[in-house]
């Protein structure tokens, strides 16, 4: 479930420290932004700052590991929604969940975008999430609830867009994203509209590698 970049097994205390650092960093970044220093994270975790770099090659990798955790958590929530009775409203609930996750962790998510490109951990977690989203999307598509040229990847990218659209005013109007998610949802639901321009980007599906979770 959790993204394990580590191939080897860690000594008990090291594993505990790694988890402690991840949790401390996630909480601190969420509250004060990703610009909090590594020294501060280490201090809060009660560890030396050298230890941070023993577990994560650099600050970006620490942030990446937190992002992976979030992506996997959302992926798990999506998988659970595959059992919902109404596929289309399940998909919309999934999108709502996705934006909420981002709202909770503003700065980490934003940093995640720039890091994401090129980080194999985030790539893999993203592909897993694409897979989950695709399964949800396929059900809704079969139901005829959404236009038939929409992919799971589209859904993930668009829910990111809904969040980002509202982000500049998040401080003053915290729930504005619901408005923009509604616009996007209407766009996805308009089954009568012309086909979308540009094909959806094709990325390797999680089925071809990394033993991802079974779905549908």
Partner DNA sequence: ACCTGAACACCGTTCAAGT
x/- map, 56-95, DNA, by CB under 7 A: -xxxx-----------------------------------
Out of 5, 47, 184, 205, the residue judged to bind a second copy by CB under 8 A: 184
Out of 173, 204, 209, 210, the residue judged to bind a second copy by CB under 8 A: 173
Distance from the first to the final alpha carbon of the chain: 18
Tell me which DSSP letter residue 174 carries: T
Angle, in degrees to the nearest 10, between helices 87-104 and 152-166: 40
Q: Which of 154, 146, 155, 152 is nearest to 191 (CA)?
A: 146
Size of the site for a second copy (CB under 8 A): 45
At closest approach, how far in Å is the CB of 79 from a second copy? 22
Q: Indicate whether 110 belongs to the interface with DNA (CB under 7 A).
A: no
Q: Indicate whether 114 belongs to the interface with a second copy (CB under 8 A).
A: yes
Closest CB to DNA among residues 55, 128:
55
Q: Indicate whether 1 belongs to the interface with a second copy (CB under 8 A).
A: no
CB burial string 21-37: b at 16+ within 10 A, e below: bbebbbebbbeeebebe
At closest approach, how far in Å is the CB of 104 from DNA? 22
Closest CB to a second copy among residues 80, 196:
196
DSSP 103-146: HHTHHHHHHHHHHHTT-HHHHHHHHHHHHHHHHHHHHHHHHT-S
Which range binds a second copy by CB under 8 A, 19-27, 43-51, 59-67, 168-176? 168-176
Out of 54, 113, 144, 204, the residue judged to bind a second copy by CB under 8 A: 113
Q: Using CA atoms, how far apart are residues 75 and 136, in angstroms rounded to an integer? A: 11
- Reduce the DSSP state of residue 206 to 3 states and report it: coil
Burial of 1 (0-12, 13-18, 19+ CB in 10 A): exposed
Which range binds DNA by CB under 7 A, 13-21, 160-168, 170-178, 187-195? 13-21
Query: Which residues contact a second copy (rule: CB under 8 A)?
Result: 110, 113-114, 116-117, 126, 150, 154, 157-158, 160-162, 164-169, 171-173, 175-176, 178-180, 182-190, 193, 196-201, 203, 215
């Amino acid at each position: 479930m959790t993204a394990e970049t580590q191939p080897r097994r860690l000594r008990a205390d090291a594993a505990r420290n790694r988890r402690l650092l991840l949790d401390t960093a996630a909480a601190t970044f969420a509250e004060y932004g990703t610009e909090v220093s590594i020294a501060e994270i280490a201090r809060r975790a009660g560890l030396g700052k050298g230890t941070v770099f023993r577990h994560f090659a650099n600050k970006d990798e620490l942030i990446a590991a937190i992002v992976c955790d979030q992506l996997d958590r959302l992926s798990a929530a999506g998988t659970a929604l595959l059992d919902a009775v109404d596929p289309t409203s399940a998909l919309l609930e999934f999108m709502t969940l996705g934006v909420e996750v981002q709202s909770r962790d503003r700065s980490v998510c934003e940093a995640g975008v720039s890091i994401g490109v090129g980080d194999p951990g985030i790539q893999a977690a993203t592909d897993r999430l694409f897979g989950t989203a695709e399964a949800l999307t396929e059900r809704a598509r079969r139901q005829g609830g959404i236009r038939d040229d929409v992919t799971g990847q589209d859904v993930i990218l668009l829910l990111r867009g809904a969040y980002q659209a509202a982000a500049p005013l998040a401080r003053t109007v915290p729930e504005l994203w619901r408005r923009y998610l509604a616009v996007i949802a209407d766009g996805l639901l308009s089954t009568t509209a012309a086909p979308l321009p540009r094909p959806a980007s094709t990325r390797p599906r999680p089925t071809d590698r990394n033993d991802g979770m079974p779905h549908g």
